[in-house]
Structure 1
Amino acid sequence: MDLKGLKFSKMHGIGNNFVIIDESKQTVISESDKPEACRFLCDRHFGVGSDGVLFVETSDVADLGYRMFNPDGSEAEMCGNGIRCFADFVYRKKILETESMTIETKSGIKTVDITLENNEPKFFRVNMGLSTFNTDEVPMKYDKEECVDGEIEVDGEKFNITVLSVGNPHVIIFVDDVDSVDIDRFGPLFESHHLFPEKINVHFVEAISEHEGKMRTWERGAGVTLACGTGATSTAIAGYKLGVFGSDVLLHLPGGNLKFTVYDENGQLGAFMEGPATLVFDGEIQ
């Protein structure tokens, strides 16, 4: 694998950071090399350092195609913070100069609306699409069709959990004090729990009020991250279903804040996410 001369951008969405590579015109990393290349690029000691690698591709059904790889080399369905960075990147690089774009991901087509300030992208509103609480679709090995405020035991302690998918799987655990949770202990135990055959993203959440919450995340394949957009989306939707949050909620993540508006489409819940994206630097592998 030779990455010499590889050009990329480093971006972050409220601390959730990514390496982004343009493959909209040609493939620059072969399919067989992508897992190893992404492990190297994400390595914070020997590579660039990131929570994932995003690839810009063409699409037959949307304006552009999106792929994401985790630090362990596995491919993820989608990332909410990543898709804002993706939209910022393609606008800045003049790959697609439009203030509203459709992006094909492995969890469906997402629509992103960009707010400009001084002709530069500043804020992004993403229709994150519809969720499912069906345990077979998450997937989750469970004896009920949904796991909403269900109780399980992990390492000798009992937790009430709500499980859903927004294209990728999430478990939401509401707690009284999110800062007191030993996330390094429970994060990997939940992620690899036998109930979740494809593993799962883990979020501990503290409700401050009906319209405000605080959360911490352990991401599948990445560990602790400063933010998770799909996780925050799942938290807003789960909180609304449980009656903990209203339809509008501001969530505080370690890296910053995201705003959500939950909607109901024929009995299925979805959400709009609003937040920033930031270019850190452009680089080239020497």
Structure 2
Amino acid sequence: MKFTKMQGAGNDFLLIDGFKYNLEEIVPKIKNLCDRRFGVGGDGIMVALPSETCDIKMFYYNSDGSQGEMCGNGLRCFVKFVYEKGIVQKENLKIETLAGVQYADLIVRDKKVESIEIEIGNPIFNPKDIPVNIDGEEVFNREIEIFGEKIKFSTIFLGVPHTIIFMENESQYDINKIGRGIEIHPLFPKKTNVNFICVKDRKTIKIFTWERGAGRTLACGTGSCSAGLVSYKLGYTEKEAKIITEGGDLYIKVLENGVKLRGGAEITFEGEVDLKKY
């Protein structure tokens, strides 16, 4: 099976043409393929498939083999992949995902995608729909106890569930320990991504990412959008902000019913694997 290895802000993925390969044969192999020592290595895998309602369908899988609704950094890689591989050569794409229809605008020069802007819409704030086992109409500035420490958090659904932790400084919390603890906390029946953020100024946020099903990663696109949206809602930042991730800078703009995310995506290498060995 041929694949393309890509990265967006340090989030790395394997991209597969599902028009050529059987999805049912790929899915059981995903965890082993994403293993960084014994496989190809990656934060997740995306498969391009035909769609009856959109230009293309994206199936996304985390590195532990679980299926995710979508991935923002992954979506940028995905649209570059389908465009440059000739699967769908449109500069304005409509993508079917498990999180609903997503839209992408591509900046193309000499048949190469240089930059991508995606729109992630329909944020959910009601805890019953995120879901979060908590009362109220939204989950802003609530309190959770992790390892004996009380921590304030906010949670929304934007593509996937995202929990936002504001930090006074970059070393306030053990990202890996607290991130894992919150991800699997009973408060979140479907688990949650955890985003630790420091607001640098009204237009700049630094973010550290713990992803549901993948662990510590260098960045998360929907996490960056969620951080920008929550920070704006709480009055800490403007509608437009730069998000400094550990893998590079992203740019967001809060919309009336969603968030726009702008950034690049790069092909790291092309490869081929024998699925029977995984």
Aligned residue identity for 1:237: L
- Give the structure 2 partner of residue 226 of structure 1: 218
- In the TM superposition, residue 34 of structure 1 has moved relative to its aligned partner by 3.7
- Give the structure 1 partner of residue 33 of structure 2: 41
Whole-angstrom CA distance in 1 between matches of 2:164 and 2:215: 16
Stretches (4+) displaced over 3 A: none
- Give the structure 1 partner of residue 272 of structure 2: 284
TM-score, length-scaled by structure 2: 0.96
Unaligned runs of 5+ in 2: none
- Give the structure 2 partner of residue 215 of structure 1: 207
- Give the structure 2 partner of residue 252 of structure 1: 244
TM-score, length-scaled by structure 1: 0.93
Whole-angstrom CA distance in 2 between matches of 1:193 and 1:235: 20
Whole-angstrom CA distance in 1 between matches of 2:151 and 2:182: 11
2:261 to 262, 268, 273: 273
- In the TM superposition, residue 149 of structure 1 has moved relative to its aligned partner by 1.0
Aligned residue identity for 2:5: K
Whole-angstrom CA distance in 1 between matches of 2:103 and 2:158: 14
- In the TM superposition, residue 36 of structure 1 has moved relative to its aligned partner by 2.5
Matched, 1:186 2:172: no
Whole-angstrom CA distance in 2 between matches of 1:218 and 1:110: 23
Whole-angstrom CA distance in 2 between matches of 1:109 and 1:17: 23
Aligned residue identity for 2:271: G
The answer as to whether partners of 1:102 and 1:111 remain within 8 angstroms in 2 is yes
The answer as to whether partners of 2:59 and 2:97 remain within 8 angstroms in 1 is yes
- Give the structure 2 partner of residue 95 of structure 1: 87
Alignment of 1:115-126 (within 5 A): 115-126=107-118
* Aligned-partner SS, 1:128: strand
The answer as to whether partners of 1:34 and 1:73 remain within 8 angstroms in 2 is no
The answer as to whether partners of 2:126 and 2:138 remain within 8 angstroms in 1 is yes
Matched, 1:263 2:219: no
- Give the structure 1 partner of residue 134 of structure 2: 142
- In the TM superposition, residue 119 of structure 1 has moved relative to its aligned partner by 3.0
- Give the structure 2 partner of residue 111 of structure 1: 103
Whole-angstrom CA distance in 2 between matches of 1:132 and 1:53: 25
* Aligned-partner SS, 2:140: coil
Q: Which shows bigger deviation, 213-222 or 170-179?
A: 170-179
Alignment size in residue pairs:
274
Whole-angstrom CA distance in 2 between matches of 1:179 and 1:36: 38
Whole-angstrom CA distance in 2 between matches of 1:142 and 1:102: 34
Q: What RMSD over aligned residues (CA atoms) do the two structures have, in Å?
A: 1.1
- Give the structure 2 partner of residue 21 of structure 1: 16
- Give the structure 2 partner of residue 12 of structure 1: 7
- In the TM superposition, residue 181 of structure 1 has moved relative to its aligned partner by 2.3
2:65 to 68, 73, 77: 73
Whole-angstrom CA distance in 2 between matches of 1:179 and 1:236: 20
- In the TM superposition, residue 30 of structure 1 has moved relative to its aligned partner by 4.3
The answer as to whether partners of 2:120 and 2:159 remain within 8 angstroms in 1 is no
- Give the structure 2 partner of residue 3 of structure 1: none
Whole-angstrom CA distance in 2 between matches of 1:51 and 1:66: 16
Whole-angstrom CA distance in 1 between matches of 2:235 and 2:151: 18
The answer as to whether partners of 1:35 and 1:74 remain within 8 angstroms in 2 is no
Matched, 1:197 2:189: yes
Aligned residue identity for 2:75: I
Whole-angstrom CA distance in 2 between matches of 1:179 and 1:277: 29
Whole-angstrom CA distance in 2 between matches of 1:133 and 1:154: 23
The answer as to whether partners of 2:84 and 2:111 remain within 8 angstroms in 1 is no
Whole-angstrom CA distance in 1 between matches of 2:210 and 2:137: 25
